[in-house]
């Protein structure tokens, strides 16, 4: 083998310079950016500042970065000129260097929604070359932005204390309470305890009123030691699956949309929308976007335990059909138990991209598609597979505006245009926002 040419040799990157962490700088804060921070500049360098608001002048302490780096990350540790929408965070650990679970506790709720709308619009301009006019709608049930989170994952520190991590860190802030988690999650008794050989604790509280479920994940190769949790069901997550300790290994959920009620079984603290209002709010938004007709054929991608599957089945009726595709076998098993009375529903277990490429997929002639992908989005291959089915309408449920905007551009390449966009504040106090987009074939 001949030696590689000099032009193809790789060189080690030049050192960025001395560590700048801990350096304090005075900056004027610029616009909000995707990720829960605002953009500032200092001596020509971009600085991503948390705990700030656009237009403020603050002292920011660098948390990541070196002297030669193109950008730094920082926390606003002192406010020199405050915005009128700045408030005192309701949680004592929602502070610089403390819990990283919330991004906007220092901001009024109305302004939080304005910031999220600005982020959605900026992502669509940048990634889809579209100007969108979007308002982030308040979700019912959490007027103060607290006690809405029905599912929370806590980390456990080296001393066995549960809590949440510092932003972009493995360090754990021990907690006795989490003000954005529901009373049922906190009432499980999981906080303020000591655990042995446990890495994480997932707590899920269903809407059926039963005891919340606590799922503990032991450190690899160890035996977990758990305190008594009489107010909760308890299970261990092991490489072999869930092991029941007490109570049941699933959570019950109930919804009512357009006069029809459905009950769902969600196993092992599996995926379900975390805001209590979200399932019905998003379900209604999806139905409004698709306007299903009796007898139509619908495809539900990333279907989970079947939330949208059930609603579409109601809408298309017994003479229609709904094919649901989901990659989690546990979720598909739960969906079978929840939807067994709906004869027009077919469940397909497997990766969405594989299913769309499978010639055996019984989805040809599909009229409607709904997809609710993970935070990373659907991607080009899935978008192409959907477009090949030529549905008359697509409803895309997204928890990340950047992924949605990117996939919007992919859909445009395949002849589908954005025809409607709604956004919902289903994650108050954080930078997250949920969107429902409607796409139709471009004229």
CATH number of the CATH domain containing 331: 3.40.50.150
pLDDT at 106: 98
Q: Are 415 and 387 in contact (CB under 8 A)?
A: yes
pLDDT at 443: 80
pLDDT of 347-405, one tens digit each?
999 999 999 999 888 777 899 999 999 999 999 999 999 999 999 999 999 999 999 99
In terms of residues, how long is the chain? 443
The pTM of the full predicted model, rounded to 2 decimals, is: 0.94
Torsion from C-alpha of 413, 416, 418, 422, nearest 10 degrees: -120
pLDDT of 149-162, one tens digit each?
999 999 999 999 99
> What is the Cα–Cα distance from 373 to 375, expressed in whole angstroms?
7
| Residue of 403, 354, 339, 396 lying closest to 371 (CA atoms) | 396
> What is the Cα–Cα distance from 321 to 103, expressed in whole angstroms?
42
Instruction: Give the residue numbers annotated as catalytic, written as ranges.
Output: 399
pLDDT at 430: 98
pLDDT at 269: 76
Phi, psi of 124, deg, nearest 5: -70, -40
The answer to whether residues 290 and 431 belong to one domain is yes
pLDDT at 16: 65
Strand partners, 395: 370, 438
Residue 407 is encoded by which pair of tokens? 């996939």
Instruction: Tell whether 120 is covered by a domain.
Output: no
Q: How many CA atoms are closer than 13 Å to the CA of 200, on its beta-carbon side?
A: 14
Q: Is 273 annotated as a binding residue?
A: yes
pLDDT at 2: 36
Q: What is the tally of structural domains in the chain? A: 3
Phi, psi of 209, deg, nearest 5: 85, 0
> What is the Cα–Cα distance from 220 to 238, expressed in whole angstroms?
9
pLDDT of 52-103, one tens digit each?
999 999 999 999 999 999 999 999 999 999 999 999 999 999 999 999 999 9
Instruction: Tell whether 16 is covered by a domain.
Output: no
Q: Is 123 annotated as a binding residue?
A: no
The answer to whether residues 65 and 191 belong to one domain is no
Instruction: Tell whether 323 is covered by a domain.
Output: yes
Q: Are 272 and 251 in contact (CB under 8 A)?
A: yes
pLDDT at 8: 38
The answer to whether residues 332 and 413 belong to one domain is yes
pLDDT at 397: 98
pLDDT at 5: 35
CATH number for the domain spanning 79: value is 2.40.50.140
Instruction: Tell whether 238 is covered by a domain.
Output: yes
Q: Are 38 and 106 in contact (CB under 8 A)?
A: no
Instruction: Tell whether 377 is covered by a domain.
Output: yes
Residues of the chain predicted below pLDDT 70: 1-16
Task: For strands 198-204 and 345-349, give the pairing.
Answer: unpaired
> What is the Cα–Cα distance from 11 to 224, expressed in whole angstroms?
46
> What is the Cα–Cα distance from 277 to 294, expressed in whole angstroms?
27
Strand partners, 38: 32, 49
The answer to whether residues 32 and 158 belong to one domain is no
Neighbours of 108 (CB within 10 A): 16
Domain containing 359 equals: 274-441
Residue at which a domain ends, from 47, 64, 86: 86
């Amino acid at each position: 083998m001949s030696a590689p040419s000099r032009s193809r040799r790789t060189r080690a990157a030049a050192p960025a310079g001395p560590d700048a962490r801990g350096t304090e700088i005075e900056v004027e804060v610029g616009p909000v950016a995707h990720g829960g921070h605002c953009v500032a500049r200092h001596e020509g360098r971009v600085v991503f500042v948390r705990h700030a608001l656009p237009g403020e002048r603050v002292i920011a302490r660098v948390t990541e970065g070196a002297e030669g780096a193109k950008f730094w990350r920082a926390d606003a540790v002192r406010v020199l000129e405050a915005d009128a929408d700045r408030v005192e965070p309701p949680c004592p650990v929602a502070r610089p260097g403390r819990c990283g679970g919330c991004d906007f506790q220092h901001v009024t709720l109305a302004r939080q929604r304005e910031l999220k709308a600005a982020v959605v619009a900026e992502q669509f301009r940048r990634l889809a070359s579209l100007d969108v006019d979007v308002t982030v709608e308040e979700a019912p049930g959490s007027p103060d932005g607290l006690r809405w989170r029905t599912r929370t994952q806590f980390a456990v520190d080296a001393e066995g204390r549960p809590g949440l991590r510092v932003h972009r860190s493995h360090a754990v802030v021990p907690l006795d309470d989490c003000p954005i988690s529901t009373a049922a999650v906190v009432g499980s008794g999981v906080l303020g305890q000591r655990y042995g050989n446990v890495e994480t604790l997932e707590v899920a509280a269903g809407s059926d009123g039963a005891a919340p479920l606590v799922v503990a994940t032991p450190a690899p190769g160890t035996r977990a030691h758990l305190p008594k949790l009489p107010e909760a069901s308890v299970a261990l997550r092991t490489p072999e699956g869930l092991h029941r300790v007490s109570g049941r290994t699933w959570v019950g959920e109930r919804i009512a949309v357009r006069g029809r009620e459905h009950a769902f079984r969600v196993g092992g603290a599996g995926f379900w929308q975390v805001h209590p209002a979200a399932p019905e709010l998003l379900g209604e938004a999806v139905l409004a976007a698709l306007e299903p007709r009796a007898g139509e054929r619908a495809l539900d991608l990333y279907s989970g335990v079947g939330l949208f599957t059930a609603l579409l089945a109601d809408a298309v009726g017994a003479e229609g059909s709904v094919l649901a595709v989901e990659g989690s076998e546990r979720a598909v098993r739960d969906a079978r138990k929840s939807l067994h009375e709906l004869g027009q529903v077919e469940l397909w277990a497997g990766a969405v991209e594989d299913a769309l490429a499978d010639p055996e997929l019984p989805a040809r002639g599909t009229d409607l598609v709904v997809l609710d992908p993970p935070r990373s989005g659907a991607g080009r291959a899935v978008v192409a597979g959907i477009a090949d089915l030529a549905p008359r309408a697509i409803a895309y449920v997204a928890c990340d505006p950047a992924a949605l905007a990117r996939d919007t551009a992919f859909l445009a390449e395949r002849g589908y245009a954005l025809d409607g966009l709604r956004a919902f504040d289903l994650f108050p106090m954080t930078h997250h926002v949920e969107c429902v987009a409607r796409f139709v074939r471009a004229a």
